Chains A and B, each alone.
Chain A
Amino acid sequence: DGGITQSPKYLFRKEGQNVTLSCEQNLNHDAMYWYRQDPGQGLRLIYYSQIVNDFQKGDIAEGYSVSREKKESFPLTVTSAQKNPTAFYLCASSPTGGNTGELFFGEGSRLTVL
């Protein structure tokens, strides 16, 4: 089945450790996105990529890094520089790399930093 797979679904880490969240899609979409959601709030854009080997900062990119070496993969690293990393992280993709087309989401990864 086509879709977006995020892993792990739940992750616990100690403060000061870097963690990498995986996002894979088999929808053949050009564009991929990472969002952060805090309890009771909307989604905020961390990074996005409209095409392989290119990505742009979103509204809250500080303390995060990404790569887009393959069309189907867009991993997110939460670095130790991110001051409040505990959150729900959502990966999404859309068919086109121009204007944001219809957006499809993975099931999310819940990161808790102890």
Chain B
Amino acid sequence: GIQVEQSPPDLILQEGANSTLRCNFSDSVNNLQWFHQNPWGQLINLFYIPSGTKQNGRLSATTVATERYSLLYISSSQTTDSGVYFCAGEGETSGSRLTFGEGTQLTVNP
């Protein structure tokens, strides 16, 4: 199956700062998605972004499928942005199964 590498593994920011999280894939992927896991464990789907760029408020994501990576941008970070950010993708031969990265642990301090 495909390998998913996320960077950085940990990130500490002051409130108001901007950040970029990266996700690299070992092979071509379909159905690339970004999730945020809050401190209580709930996973929220942020973006379904197989290719191109999407924006939702202070968050935006870009996927360059041909180069097998995706970026998540967080602008003007808030303490509520803290948590773990996961990316996941489905390999072209995986058959309906997403492979998740290990996540980026984000802490936003007031």
A: which residues have CB within 8 A of B?
Answer: 31, 35, 37, 41-45, 48, 50, 56, 58-59, 88, 90, 92, 97-105, 107-108, 110
Contacts and interface: CB of A to CB of B under 8 A. Distances in A.
Contacts of B13: none
Interface stretch (B52-60, B66-74, B94-102): B94-102
A88 B41 contact: yes
B37 to A, nearest CB: 9
Given A56-B96, A103-B33, 5 more contacts: A88-B41, A100-B90, A102-B48, A103-B88, A107-B42
Nearest to B102: A42
A100 B42 contact: no
B43 interface: yes
Given A88-B41, A102-B48, A42 B103 contact: yes
A56 B42 CA distance: 25
15 contacts: A37-B41, A42-B4, A42-B100, A42-B103, A43-B88, A48-B96, A48-B97, A56-B96, A59-B1, A59-B97, A99-B90, A100-B31, A100-B97, A100-B98, A102-B48
State the majority secondary structure of interface residues on B: strand
A105 B42 contact: yes
Q: Residue among A44, A58, A105 with the most chain B CB within 10 A?
A: A105
Contacts of A100: 31, 90, 96-98
Contacts of B42: 105, 107-108
B31 A99 contact: yes
A10 B31 CA distance: 31
